[in-house]
Structure 1
Amino acid sequence: MNELYKAEHFTKLVETLSQRGILQYDYFVNWAKVLTKIEPIEKELHILNAAVGKEDIEGVLLGIFKEYPKTVKAIPALLAIREKSIDILIDKTNYIHRNFDFKHREFTDDDLNSLVDFVMQSGLGKMMQDRNIRNLPDYCTGVEVGLDSNGRKNRGGTQMEQLVESFVALFCHENDLEYLPQGSVKSIKAAWGVDVKIGKAGKNIDFVIYKKSTGTLYFIECNFYNSNGSKLKSTASEYTKMSELWKAQGIEFIWVTDGKGWLSSIKALRDYFDYGNYLLNIDMLQNGYLEKIIL
């Protein structure tokens, strides 16, 4: 890259950084995952629903647990926990614990009384008794939706991958090129017979494009930062080091990144770019920069 091109390219990149997010409809809730969590306990939730609104809820729950012991396995889900065996500190002064085991098995009467006590002491029983929870299957679906929100961070990362792949797939199709999503040492070898060193143990490359006419591999990594933070600088530094390893193998590296978070970390981007690495944003993908680099 000559200095004039570098200056113009970097200025354009900064000027066209996206000021808006890239959220897509599938970011909010992974409904398929939610339903897979509900399905194994759906029958048990409907049975337990018979206890809702009952004055003698402890007696009703005990009766349900005795007649339908499999219903016990649904209790953790109603409290937004994944563990099937839980230790509770029941006496803080003497540091005494009690174990509550929700795995289905042959329960003794003491086990079942203990589990009823757990439901009541946790507050779940009172919520059911007072009809603050009216329908356990619907309530549990809501709990799972809440738990699934923890996965939004990962989905936020895949949103950028999905967006970039729409450009990569079309570009490769139109130009008779092959590509792999989540390329690994093994999959690259299987696809094109090329041995590579990716460097970071267990790391996959977001996209790998193979140009058969020259035997050249292009590694593409992508991310989007809507807010600033130390992560941006560390990512730029990591890619600078990794690109040296890849360049030594004749591999071209293209980093596609975007987001207004970079506006407070321009120097980190510039430092990476000054090493002679390719740096693109979404606007540049839209305007044919893959063609300029690869064709």
Structure 2
Amino acid sequence: MNPNVFGFKSNKEYLDSFIENLLHTNKTFYYYLNWRKITNNVNRFLEEISILNSLTKVSKNKLENEFVRIIKKYPKVVKVIPLLIAERLKNEKLTVFDSTNEKYLKLDFNHPIKNYKELIYVCKNLGILDLFQSVKDLYDYLLGVEVGLDTNSRKNRSGEIFEKLCFDKLSKSLGKKYKIVQNDKNFSLFPKLSSGKNKSKMHDFVIYSGKNIKYLVESSFYNVSGSKPVSIAESYIKLNEIAGQNGIAFIWITDGPGWAKMKEPLLLAMENIDYVVNFHFLNTLLPHL
């Protein structure tokens, strides 16, 4: 990489400034909660939730009979049961090990419930019947459940968010000059990098000039140091070589506080990859492309 592009005399000098300008976090507003996903997950069962809501006003001694009556009359309401216990089911099937009787209980929500006694037993022991007695509105309760479940997606969103930040910046600066394809299914050098493996793995961005590929771009954000960033740096050095053999320049956009304690592999990458930039220095690079 030529550090002169960024106004530095050496890669070491560029590295020092690179570290000083690392993003402390990539937690945008979208990182914390995906409200569209949350509300969609609840609203798709709006009718069923409204029906089950009537159980919140039923006395305890009548609850089991009323629950069965509702399920018989409105079989689709059973689809909400997994949501009440914050469970994402595969194939709409719930399996519980009943340790008291040492047997498995299986509920298949794809079909109308036939064993109501077993359903009541399961719901009672899962605390669902008590739930009807303790909440005033199932819709509000389920929104809270979905908020909790959505926080588990934050780790996956971290990489997606940085990729989106980079895509927005690339599109804004290069969109009129080049065609930018995100996760291009029609082109990948990863199989060559891994001797035929990773056939389905795609590059974050492929930048076309007409029909010709001009640049390959990968983006990554590291909150902590570790072996993964080091191995990625090593693999991208090889990827850069393969890209060069195909007349393609390689750009690695990488950022995050994890790099502060991993200067050596980062410097090695800068010395062997066409362009290594963080989010700050991407602004400097783009006018040169």
User: The TM-score by the shorter chain falls in which range?
Assistant: 0.7 to 0.9
Pairing 1:178–2:186 present: no
Which residue does 2:252 correspond to in 1? 255
Q: Which has the higher contact order (CA 8 A, sep 6+)?
A: 2
> Is contact 2:163-2:204 (8 Å) kept?
yes
Pairing 1:86–2:81 present: no
Partners of 1:13 and 1:76 lie apart in 2 by 48
**Aligned counterpart for 2:25 among listed residues 21, 24, 30:** 21
What does the per-residue CA deviation read over 1:200-242, in whole Å, with 9 as the maximum and x for residues that have no partner?
Answer: 32122222223459x5521111122222233222221221222
Which residue does 1:274 correspond to in 2? 271
What does the per-residue CA deviation read over 1:80-128, in whole Å, with 9 as the maximum and x for residues that have no partner?
Answer: 1122222222246x742222222242x33xx122112111110121122
Q: Which amino acid aligns with 1:98?
A: L
> Is contact 2:71-2:77 (8 Å) kept?
yes
Partners of 1:168 and 1:33 lie apart in 2 by 27
Question: More deviation in 42-51 or 146-155?
Answer: 146-155
Which residue does 1:74 correspond to in 2? 80
Q: Which amino acid aligns with 1:38?
A: V
Percent identity of paired positions between Structure 1 and Structure 2: 31
What does the per-residue CA deviation read over 1:124-178, in whole Å, with 9 as the maximum and x for residues that have no partner?
Answer: 211222x2x221111112212222222222221121122212321122146x233
- 1:46-61 pair list within 5 angstroms: 46-53=50-57, 54-56=59-61, 57-61=63-67
Partners of 1:257 and 1:273 lie apart in 2 by 11
User: How many matched pairs?
Assistant: 274
Which residue does 1:42 correspond to in 2? 46
- When the two chains are superposed, the root-mean-square deviation of aligned CA atoms in Å is 2.3
Partners of 2:179 and 2:243 lie apart in 1 by 19
Partners of 1:2 and 1:140 lie apart in 2 by 54
Q: Which consecutive unaligned segments of at least 5 residues does structure 2 have?
A: 4-8, 192-197
Question: More deviation in 277-286 or 7-16?
Answer: 7-16
| Secondary structure of 2:161's aligned partner | helix
Q: Which consecutive unaligned segments of at least 5 residues does structure 1 have?
A: 189-195
Partners of 1:2 and 1:222 lie apart in 2 by 20
- Taking structure 2 as the reference length, the TM-score comes to 0.85
> Is contact 2:25-2:256 (8 Å) kept?
yes
Q: Taking structure 1 as reference, are residues 121 and 290 closer, same or farther at Cα in structure 2, changes over 3 Å only?
A: same
Moved over 4 A (4+): 1-4
**Aligned counterpart for 1:102 among listed residues 105, 109, 114:** 109
**Aligned counterpart for 1:224 among listed residues 216, 221, 224:** 221
- Taking structure 1 as the reference length, the TM-score comes to 0.84
